[in-house]
Amino acid sequence: MGTVLSGGGTGGCTRTGGVGGGQQQLGDRTWSDEQMTNAHTIIATTSARGLPRRAAVIAIATAIVESDLVNVDYGDRDSLGLFQQRPSMGWGTPAEVTTPTYATGAFLDRLVLEDDWDDLGTAAQRVQRSAFPDRYGKREAQATALVDRFWTGPDNPPSGPPPGAQQAGLSPVVTGCPDQGASNVPLDPAQLPPGFTLPPDPRQRTVVSFALAQLGKPYVWGAKGPAAYDCSGLTQASWSAAGVPIPAGTTTQVTAGAAVPSLAAVQPGDLLFIPGSLGSPSNPRHVGVYIGDGLLVNAYDETKGVVLENVRAWAGEIVSIRRPAQPAIPAPPLKGEPRT
C-alpha cells in the first residue's frame, strides 16, 4: 500500500477519521466520514484493477450523482446502492449491489467496454443509461478532488493490477488515517460448540453464516472484501449479504439501526462496539458481529485476521450495541445474559 497519510489538515484522525480521513472539505464541498470512506473504497477498487486514474474519476462522479456517495437501500424502482444499480436489469442481487466493492466492480466492468472516456458525462451515461444524462459531467471537479486525495502512482498504470493486490485486498491508494480499527482486547479465541445452529430468522441466519465464512481471512485496514476485511468492512459485508446496507466505518455504524440496551438483549447479527486500539468510549473504533452462544466474529488485527471470540472477553469494554435491522421472526422472551 502507498504511504499512509496522517489525516492532518482537514481530516480528523484523532476524532472521527477513518480510512477515508474523516469529515473534511475538498474544494467547495464538505464530505462526511461515510462519504469519504465510500470514495476511498471506489478509488481503491479501481486502482486494484490496474485501471487508469480517469476510471476512478468517472466512477466517483457517477456515485455522487446517483447516491451522493451513500450506500442507500432505496431508489427509483429497484435501484440500490452507491451506483443505483437495478437487480432486475442484471446488475446483481440486492445483496451484491449494496456491497460497495461489488457495486464498484460491476460499474467498472461496463465502463471498460466503452472506448472513449474523454467526456465524463458521455462515458458515465453509456454505463448508467440515465434519464438525466447531463448530471454526471457537472460533478467532474468534485470527483477529481476526491481522487486527488487518495490516488498514488501513475495516472495510467501498466496493464493489469499490481502483483497480489486483488488477492490480498491491497491497492496503491493512500488511506486518510493510520490504522484505527484493530482490537484493544486480548484475544480470547473460541470454537463453535458442538451442535451450534444458525439462527432461525432468515436475515440473522444470513448475517451469521456470512461472517463465519470469512474466518481466517486477513485483516487489512480499509479493506471491504472479499479477500480481506477491516472490522467495519466485515460487518458491512455481513449485513449487505442479508440485503441490509449499513454505513461504512465504525464512526457511522455506531449510529446505524436501533440501540440495544444491554448484552441481556443481544441477538445474532447485532453489532458490538469497543474503543479499539486508538479509539475511546465516546468514539469506538472496533466492531464485531454477535453470532449467538456467547460468541462473536470480528476482523481482529493485521496479525490475527478474522477470528471467532468469546463475548466474555469484550464484556467490560462494550460501549454500544446496535441492531441494523429487526429480525423477521420475533425473538423469544429474554432468558438472561448470553452464554459466556
Residues 63-102 as b/e (b if ≥16 CB within 10 A, e otherwise) read: bbbbbebbbeeebeeebbbbbbbbbeeebbebbbbbbbbb
Q: Are residues 207 and 277 in the same domain?
A: yes
Residues 236-275 as b/e (b if ≥16 CB within 10 A, e otherwise) read: bbbbbbbbbbbbbbbbbbbebbeebeebeebbbbbbbbbb
**What does the alpha-carbon distance between residue 193 and residue 55 come to, in Å, rounded to a whole number?**
47
Cell of 184: 484493544
In a 3-state reduction of DSSP, which class is residue 148? Answer: helix
pLDDT of residue 22: 83
Residue 194 lies in a domain: no
What is the pLDDT tens value at each position of the chain, 340 positions in all? Answer: 232 222 333 344 544 567 788 888 998 899 998 999 999 999 999 998 999 999 999 999 999 999 999 999 999 999 999 999 999 999 999 999 999 999 999 999 999 999 999 999 999 999 999 999 999 999 999 999 999 999 987 898 876 555 444 444 444 466 666 666 789 999 999 999 999 999 999 999 999 999 999 999 999 888 888 899 999 999 999 999 998 999 988 988 999 999 999 999 999 999 999 999 888 999 999 999 999 999 999 999 999 999 999 999 999 999 999 999 998 776 555 444 454 4
pLDDT of residue 330: 64
Q: Are residues 152 and 228 in the same domain?
A: no
Q: Are residues 30 and 162 in the same domain?
A: yes
Q: Are residues 32 and 157 in the same domain?
A: yes
Q: Are residues 141 and 44 in the same domain?
A: yes
pLDDT of residue 18: 72
pLDDT of residue 173: 65
Residue 120 lies in a domain: yes
**What does the alpha-carbon distance between residue 175 and residue 4 come to, in Å, rounded to a whole number?**
6
Residue 12 lies in a domain: no
Q: Are residues 104 and 152 in the same domain?
A: yes
Residue 249 lies in a domain: yes
CB 100 within 8 A of CB 82: yes
**What does the alpha-carbon distance between residue 184 and residue 199 come to, in Å, rounded to a whole number?**
28
Number of domains in the chain: 2
Instruction: Give me the residue label for grid cell 429497484.
Output: 78
Task: Give 52-92 pLDDT, tens digit per residue.
Answer: 999 999 999 999 999 999 999 999 999 999 999 999 999 99
Residue 267 lies in a domain: yes
Q: Where are the alpha helices (DSSP H) in the chain?
A: 33-48, 53-67, 94-97, 100-111, 120-128, 140-150, 165-168, 202-213, 231-241, 250-253
Q: Are residues 215 and 102 in the same domain?
A: no
Last residue of a domain, one of 115, 148, 168: 168
Say which CATH number the domain at 112 has: 1.10.530
Say which CATH number the domain at 248 has: 3.90.1720.10
pLDDT of residue 167: 42
CB 164 within 8 A of CB 258: no
Instruction: Give me the residue label for grid cell 480470547.
Output: 188
Q: Which of 53, 20, 11 is nearest to 175 (CA)?
A: 20
Query: By 3-state DSSP, what share of the chain in percent is helix, strand and coil, each rounded to 5?
Result: 35, 15, 55
Residue 186 lies in a domain: no
Residue 94 lies in a domain: yes
Residue 182 lies in a domain: no
| Domain range enclosing 89 | 24-168
pLDDT of residue 65: 98
pLDDT of residue 159: 62
